[in-house]
Amino acid sequence: MGAKEAIFSKETFQFFRELKRNNKKEWMDENRERYQEVVVKPLKRLLEEMAPSVLKLDQRFETTGARGANFSRINRDIRFSKDKTLYKNDMYVKFPFAAGALEDGGELYAGVSEKSATAGFRIYGASKRKESTLALVAQPRLEKNPKWLTQQKRKLGRKYESYWYSNVKGQWTANHGWPTNADWPKLQAWVVRKKLAVSAAARPSYPSDLAKIFRDLYPLAKFVSLE
């Protein structure tokens, strides 16, 4: 698998660098066409390139390009965020599970920002953790297979960064490293990812590299997400 031409160019990452310095509606309005050309179109192309390999992993992944399902929003929801800047400095293509999965299940993703690209697996719990996939699907599986987290760390820990979030006094708190079975009852989100240089994401081989990452991390998404 490999695209004949690179999907992303340096212009994609330059756009996010300039946006970070000019995070205002006026600047965004002036650069709207540029945003569509160097950010939106490449992300749509990445979805199209990756859909076959993602569906080969599991037919239950969402790959239709539905708004909100496969693409993140650049507009920040400032109502509930401490960060009051209007626009995010990154965007993602997401592959969540669709049929047969809970809404807050895990997903594979690939993102671009001003300095790098990232790709990996992530899962975020629901507002009520006891009703989340983390509690209803993953927790019983971990109880039946208590060695699973240790096995994944041994298998993937050298290649991928892991971090997770807990809720401490109403605030999400980042914890670096691989969670343990003891951590799981307080775990609110989990991310396992690889950070890539701009040059790596701008190569024609990027979709093939991404497919390898997704193959490595798909078992995580399946274990913690699917009933």
Q: Which amino acid is at 27?
A: W
Per-residue pLDDT of the chain (227 residues; tens, 9 = 90+): 444 789 999 999 999 999 999 999 999 999 999 999 999 999 999 999 999 999 999 999 999 987 778 999 999 887 767 778 999 999 999 999 975 455 678 999 999 999 999 999 999 987 788 889 999 999 999 999 999 999 999 999 999 999 999 988 778 899 999 999 999 999 999 999 999 999 999 999 999 999 999 999 999 999 999 87
Full-model pTM: 0.92
**Concatenated DSSP letters for 48-102?**
HHHHHHHHHH-TTB--S--TTTSB--SB--TTS-S---SB-SEEEEEEEB-TTB-
- Structural domain contains residue 17: yes
Condensed to tens digits (0 to 9), the pLDDT of residues 109-150 reads: 999 999 999 999 999 987 788 889 999 999 999 999 999 999
- Structural domain contains residue 76: yes
- Structural domain contains residue 177: no
* Tokens read off for 69: 């399902």
- Structural domain contains residue 169: no
Domain count, the chain: 1
- Structural domain contains residue 20: yes
**Concatenated DSSP letters for 162-206?**
EEEEEEETTEEEEEES---TTTGGGEEEEEEEEEEEHHHHTSTTH
Domain range for 102 is 10-124+193-225
- Structural domain contains residue 173: no
- Structural domain contains residue 200: yes
Pairing assessment for the beta strands 107-113 and 90-96 based on DSSP bridges? antiparallel
Whole-number percent of the chain with pLDDT over 90: 81
- Structural domain contains residue 134: no
